[in-house]
A and B are shown apart, each in its own frame.
Chain A
Amino acid sequence: MQIKGKAWKFGDDIDTDAIIPARYLNTSDPYELAKHCMEDADKTFASKVKKGDIIVAGKNFGCGSSREHAPVAIKYAGVSCVIAKDFARIFFRNAFNIGLPIFESEEASKKIDEGDEIEILADKGIIKNLTKSQEYIVKPIPPFMQELVAAGGLINYAKQKFKIK
C-alpha cells in the first residue's frame, strides 16, 4: 500500500456531524457525500482537497454518530488516509470495514503541520514527514484488523470465511 500526500490539519474531537452533516444524509451516494466532506469543520475542504491528500487530526477523531457516511465521504473525497492521536470507536471500525486506511500516532498528530508532504510505509508502521525529514511510529494494527484489510473489508472477509446464502 503506497500512501503519499499533503497534510490537512484538524483539531481534537472532530465529530461525524462536522465530517458529513446530517442535512446531506438523505442519500448514500458516495460521490454526493464526498462533495460535503468536512464541511462544518472547513467549509471549502471538499473543493481544495486533492487526490491522495491526508487528514491529520488530534484526539477522538470521528466521535458522535455511527454514520458510515463519514468515512465514505472522506474516502470518496480522494483522501488517502487519516492520521490521528486516536479515533472514536465506531469510526475506527467503520474505517476498517469499508477500507479507509487510518493510523494512530500521537507524535505524527502533534508534529505534522498543514501542507507537510507525508508518506506512509504501512507495512513498516512508519509515517515519514518529507517536508520536515522526520519519522513517526504508528500504533500497531491488531492482527484481526490486518486480516480485514488483507481481505479487502468486512464483506469480502464474510465471503471468504462464511457460506453466503
Chain B
Amino acid sequence: MGMTIGEKILAAKCGKKFVEPGELIIADVDIVLANDITAPLAIKEFKNSGATRVFDRKKIVLVPDHFTPNKDIKSAEQAKILRDFANEQKLTHYYEQGQAGIEHVLLPEKGIVVSGDLVIGADSHTCTYGALGAFATGVGSTDVAFAMITGKAWFKVPTTIKFIYKGKLKKWVYSKDLILYTIGKIGVDGALYKIMEFAGPVISDLSVDARMTMSNMAIEAGGKAGIIEPDDITIEYMKKRAERKWKIFKSDKDAKYEKVIEFDCEKIEPQVACPHLPENTKSVSEVGKVLIDQAVIGSCTNGRIEDLKIAAKILKGKKVNSRVRCIIFPGTQNVYLQALKEGLVEIFIKAGCVVSPPTCGPCLGGHMGILAKGEVAISTTNRNFVGRMGHPESFVYLSSPAVAAASAIAGKIASPEDIL
C-alpha cells in the first residue's frame, strides 16, 4: 500500500519502510526550533533533566522574535536566557536582532530547513515549512527540551486529507484567500490531528512565498502539518539557499487519504475571516461596512517580499485613511532590505504607513501595535481570537495583504477593486 508524503517522511525518520496512521513512533528530528516565549521553559526543562550538552549544536535554532526588540525588562530577561544558552552550547543557529526576524520567514530564507526534513518547533506556525516538502509541526517547550537532549520526538502518525485546488485564481485572489476559504469550509478543527496536503494546478503555479502562507495556517484548521509536494519551483528556491542536502519525497499514486476535497478556484473571491475565529470567513463583498482603526501587514503568514510587493502595488501614490494606523512589518532584515532597495519602503512611508522592524509583536498582541477597547483591525496575520491583538473587547479581521492595503486606504474593509 502506498504512503502520503507526510507518512513517508515520518517513516524515513524512524528508520522504517512503512508507517500507517495511528502508529506511535519516536523519530529523529533534523531541526529543533524555539523562540523567546517558548525557549526559556525548554531550557529550564533541559537543565532540570541534568543534561549538560545538546545532542547536536547545529540542529538547534533559537530565534528571539516575539517580544523583540525587547519590549520590557521581563522580555529582556527572557531573550537573555536564549542568548546565554546559545553561547554556552555554542549553537550555530542563534539569530540576534540585526540578523534575525520572524522565525518562519527566516529559516526557509537562510536555507536552514529543506525538503524531506522532520522539523519540530515550539511555535504552532512551525507548520510553515510544509511548503518546502518538509514534515514540520508545532510542539511544546517540553518536547523541545526532550529533543535537545535526545535528538528525537514522539509522534502519532496522522491521517492525511488532500486538498486539490483547480481552475484559475481570480484577480486579487492570493494563496491567503485560498487557505482562509479552506478553513471556512472545514472549520478550526476540520483537520484536527491530521496532515493537510495541498495540491492541484493552482498550487503548482504558486511561488514558494505564497505556498508558505498556506502551510502556515494549517494549524488554524487544527492540522498537524500542511504539506506541499516539492517540485521545480521548490528546488529552484532551495538551490540558492540550502545549507544541507535535501531529499524529495512525493505521495504514492495509491496513497491512502482520509478524504480528498476539491475546490474550484474560479468561485473564490478575496476572503475575510471575521472575529473571533479564523473559520468565520466571508467574501470581502459580503462583509458589509466595517470601519477599521488599524491595518497590519506582515507576520509569518504574510511578511515575505511578495506580500509587501502586493501591498505596495495598492498603496503606491495613495494615502492611508486618516482614521487608520497602518503598520507594515517585514518578516526579516533581508525582506526589509529588499523592500528598501525596490522602493517599497518609500511607497509605504509616503502613503502614511509605519514600517516596523521584523517582529511577531502586533500579531499576538505583544507590542508594536496594540488595539484599544472597541478598536477594529484588519490584519494579514493568522488569528483573530478574542484579545489576540490587544484589548479583549477589540476585533480582528484576517485577510490578504491586498485587502488589508485596500482597507487601509478606504478606512473600512474593502476590496482592491473598490479603491483602484
Contact = CB atoms under 8 A, between A and B. Distances in A.
Contacts of A143: 24
A41 B386 CA distance: 8
A75 interface: no
B44 to A, nearest CB: 7
A84 B41 CA distance: 26
Interface stretch (A46-54, A59-67, A132-140): A59-67
Interface stretch (A1-9, A107-115, A123-131, A157-165): A157-165
Interface in B307-363: none
A37 interface: no
Interface string B70-91: 0110110010000000000000
Contacts of B142: 68, 94, 97-98, 153-155
Contacts, number: 145
Contact of B124 (A18, A22, A90, A155): A90
Interface stretch (B46-54, B228-236, B406-414): B46-54
B139 interface: yes
Interface residues of B, number: 54
Chain B, interface SS category? loop
A60 B140 contact: no
A93 B143 contact: yes
Given A22-B366, A23-B366, A89-B224, A66 B138 contact: yes
A23 B122 CA distance: 18
Nearest to A21: B387
A60 B366 CA distance: 24
A23 B78 contact: no
Contacts of B387: 17-18, 21, 40
11 contacts: A18-B386, A22-B37, A25-B66, A27-B74, A60-B192, A64-B124, A65-B383, A66-B38, A66-B140, A94-B142, A165-B52
